A and B are shown apart, each in its own frame.
Chain A
Amino acid sequence: MASTTETKQKKMLILKSADNDEFEIEESVGVQSETIKNLVEDGFTFVPLPNVYTKALIKIIDYLKKHANKTDSNDEEIKTFDKDFVNTTFDDLFELVSAANYLHISCLMNMLCQTIADRIKDKSPEAVRKIFHINCDYTPEEEAKIRKANAQAFEGQFDESLD
């Protein structure tokens, strides 16, 4: 009954997503999230996450598992994993960044914010609005005023593509 013994040794947590799916993970994996860590310290083993949907939670659990096993030798492997992790749509990035923010996973937050920043750099405000489905809440006059103030920034050409 080796496996039972092992399970007993490892403390497990259950995470429940906003869509009511439950995931069992090792406590040592989960506590990379400050939010989960605080709950564990208060004695919880069942963690409801009303702000995190299943799709994002599956990805984030993958990330936590990968990073929990970080050693000196798998540095390259983790780098590749991270690169694939952020190679996704803006909508997925939105889900992930919202979830990572709620869960307080700082290394993941940094990586996601850097990815988003890298992908919007060089882009015109119009392109950024389309990508992020943002309705501009400026009146044309207000926008013109800000643009004028930023005039120096508009000497160059911006990238209008939406990828």
Chain B
Amino acid sequence: MVQDWSEVPLDVLVLISRCLNLIEDYLNFGIVCKSWHSVATENNLNSDMPRLEKTRVKLVCCIPSAVEIELPHQNTTENYGEHQTGWLMSFIRKAVLSASPYHTSHYILMVIEGGMRFLSFWRPGDLRWTRVSWEGTNHDRLSDLVDLAAGKMTETRELGDRAFFLGANASISVQASQFPGIKSNHIYFTDDFFETYLAYEEGGGLDMSVFNLADGSIQPHYESVSLSRFCPPIWVTPTLY
């Protein structure tokens, strides 16, 4: 028997429309026919429907490749509700990929979220975000190793041959031995506290240097001042593309 789904009771259509989690699919639902359109109203829009959090995220990795990945809603994070206090909590401050999804499906997406209080990660195939727990008392931490299997962080002072480049736009780890001039076991950082940039007449972005993990010393890597009042200094990474 061939069914005509436009005859589905409206209350059933409402339930189906509320199960859609992407705004694109919801809008499409309303184009199918008039009765479906009458259902796809703002009122029936799934209130959990992501504007930012769960949407097909278009990551433009490098021209000409663009990759879309669909992420679980942030409310899938364990203990998500316990710390939720407002819109700020669902704000992702920073997101970093361990590898380009265009080239491999073995990558990790790590984000700073929850009012900058949490580090969470997602790997392709994960149904939920995993929040990394911090075990320790020293909040002025230097460098943390994340154990993905256990979802835990531990402090370290040893990066081996690695050097980190951190700042407002970058979180990159490089093998120092492959790049002449870059010191291993050092963290190169730029100022990422851009909220304060406008507060100072002379501009912000001055907090940038190289941190030596072995002895705890800090040396400047750029002697001049940042000239922009609102744009943080950024790391520029050469690529082959």
Task: Tell me whether chain B's interface is mostly helix, strand or loop, or mixed.
Answer: helix
A54 in contact (CB, < 8 A): no
Q: In the bound complex, what is the Cα–Cα distance between A116 and B20 (angstroms)?
A: 9
Task: Let me know if A134 and B33 touch, CB within 8 A.
Answer: yes
- Contact residues in B for A129 (Cβ distance below 8 Å): 32-33
B134 in contact (CB, < 8 A): no
Task: Let me know if A94 and B32 touch, CB within 8 A.
Answer: no
| Chain A, residue nearest B23 (CB) | A153
Q: Which of B5-13, B88-96, B115-123 lies on the face that meets chain A?
A: B5-13
Task: Let me know if B3 and A113 touch, CB within 8 A.
Answer: no
Interface size on B, residues (CB 8 A): 33
| Chain B, residue nearest A142 (CB) | B34
Q: In the bound complex, what is the Cα–Cα distance between A158 and B29 (angstroms)?
A: 12
Task: Let me know if A138 and B34 touch, CB within 8 A.
Answer: yes
Q: In the bound complex, what is the Cα–Cα distance between A144 and B32 (angstroms)?
A: 12
B150 in contact (CB, < 8 A): no
Which of under 10, 10 to 19, 20 to 34, or 35 or more describes the interface residues of A? 35 or more
Task: Let me know if B25 and A121 touch, CB within 8 A.
Answer: yes
- Contact residues in B for A123 (Cβ distance below 8 Å): 25, 28
Q: In the bound complex, what is the Cα–Cα distance between A94 and B9 (angstroms)?
A: 11
| Chain A, residue nearest B2 (CB) | A133
Task: Let me know if A97 and B8 touch, CB within 8 A.
Answer: yes
Task: Let me know if A156 and B56 touch, CB within 8 A.
Answer: yes
**Min CB distance, B5 to chain A, in Å?**
3
Q: In the bound complex, what is the Cα–Cα distance between A153 and B3 (angstroms)?
A: 29
**Min CB distance, B30 to chain A, in Å?**
7
**Min CB distance, A105 to chain B, in Å?**
12
Task: Let me know if B68 and A153 touch, CB within 8 A.
Answer: no
**Min CB distance, A96 to chain B, in Å?**
11
- Contact residues in B for A153 (Cβ distance below 8 Å): 23-24, 27-28
Residue interface bits A138-162, CB-to-B below 8 A is 1, else 0: 1000010011001001101010000
Seen from chain A, the residues whose Cβ lies within 8 Å of a Cβ on chain B are 90-91, 94-95, 97-98, 101, 109-110, 113-114, 116-118, 120-125, 128-129, 132-138, 143, 146-147, 150, 153-154, 156, 158
Q: Would you give 12 A-B contacts (Cβ < 8 Å), ordered by A?
A: A91-B1, A101-B12, A109-B15, A113-B16, A113-B19, A125-B31, A125-B32, A128-B28, A133-B5, A143-B31, A146-B37, A150-B27
Seen from chain B, the residues whose Cβ lies within 8 Å of a Cβ on chain A are 1-6, 8-9, 11-12, 15-25, 27-34, 36-37, 56, 68
